[in-house]
Copies of this chain bind each other. A is one copy, B any other.
Amino acid sequence: MIETYLLEALVAFKDYRTLSAAAENLHISQPALSRSMQKLEEILEVSLFDRTKNRIVLNETGEMAASLARNILQSQDEMVTLIRNYDSSLHTVSVGSCAPGPLMELGTVLPSVFPDFSFCSSARSEDELISDLLKRKYSFIITTRNINDERISSAFYGTEHLFVGAIPAHPLSVYRDTGISFSDVNGENFLMFSDVGIWHDIKEKMMPDSRYITQDDLSNLSTLVKSSSLLSFATDLSLRLFRGDENPERIYIPINDPEATVTFYCNYLLSTRKKLEPLLNYLSSRS
């Protein structure tokens, strides 16, 4: 059998084209690498290089061998992360979401539904979430659409509605009951949380002329908003979660456009259904 370090050596040589460069990158001496390549040829009973006195180049067989070796190493890497993820999936419940709202809500819900759990911040794209779900990095993920994959099952999670926050003196505050449209505030400056996931794309699309002053710390943002007359954002979820320590000096105006309402779905691996049943029961009882 071929030990992994030999495959790593071969791949490094393919990448760096000379033994010296590859050896340096592998943090071993150049003669050591030279011997490894010889050993690999011995084991395979095949010559992998064209050698001249002071030059060594992969031959046709060597090139293909290095490609195959790279695949093996990648498979090994994937194996390691799969094993680690699988292990932690037995001990914790981790969540990925395309928006922070459901994540914050779940933060209050999960501890009562599951004994112990861990949290994960929202990733960028839904594709990344799906890929990480398949690798079991997440126990389940929150997305805005049902996923078309036979290994994955989906359940309705809930909706989130966007509001604009403003000081009472703001002219728009008269619309606090009737609501406004994105176009009414397109061009205005906003204070907002930086990691809003899918809302990022929505605001960019619906209010391309606005400027957004972002803040990646929620409590700092809150302080900032209290002291400012700039517009801000909120959602029904965030308003419900932070009821109590919300700013009494702010009023929240609903946005009427359909794009201001997002529907979330909870997606999980079919094979983990049993483990997640408490959550699924909770979700269906809620709706």
Interface residue ranges, A against B (CB under 8 Å): 1-5, 8, 44-47, 60-61, 64-65, 68-69, 71-73, 75-76, 79-80, 82-84, 86-87, 90
CB distance from A113 to the nearest CB of B (A): 22
CA distance A60 to B88 in the complex (A): 12
Asked, given contacts A2-B4, A5-B1, whether A76 binds B72 with beta carbons under 8 Å apart, the answer is yes
Asked whether, in the complex, the Cβ of A60 is within 8 Å of the Cβ of B90, the reply is yes
- Which chain B residues border A86 with CB–CB below 8 Å? 60-61, 64
CA distance A65 to B75 in the complex (A): 13
Asked whether, in the complex, the Cβ of B44 is within 8 Å of the Cβ of A84, the reply is yes
CA distance A11 to B60 in the complex (A): 33
CB distance from A99 to the nearest CB of B (A): 32
Asked whether, in the complex, the Cβ of A87 is within 8 Å of the Cβ of B72, the reply is no
Asked, given contacts A61-B83, A75-B72, A84-B46, whether A3 binds B5 with beta carbons under 8 Å apart, the answer is yes
**Central interface residue in A4, A8, A90, by most chain B CB within 10 Å:** A4
Asked whether, in the complex, the Cβ of A79 is within 8 Å of the Cβ of B72, the reply is yes
Asked whether, in the complex, the Cβ of B4 is within 8 Å of the Cβ of A3, the reply is yes
- Which chain B residues border A72 with CB–CB below 8 Å? 72, 75-76, 79
- Which chain B residues border A3 with CB–CB below 8 Å? 3-5
**Contact residue among B4, B46, B71 (Cβ-Cβ distance under 8 Å from A83):** B46
CB distance from A101 to the nearest CB of B (A): 33
- Which chain B residues border A80 with CB–CB below 8 Å? 2, 44
8 A-B interface contacts by CB (under 8 A): A1-B5, A3-B3, A44-B80, A46-B84, A47-B87, A65-B83, A68-B82, A69-B79
CB distance from A105 to the nearest CB of B (A): 30
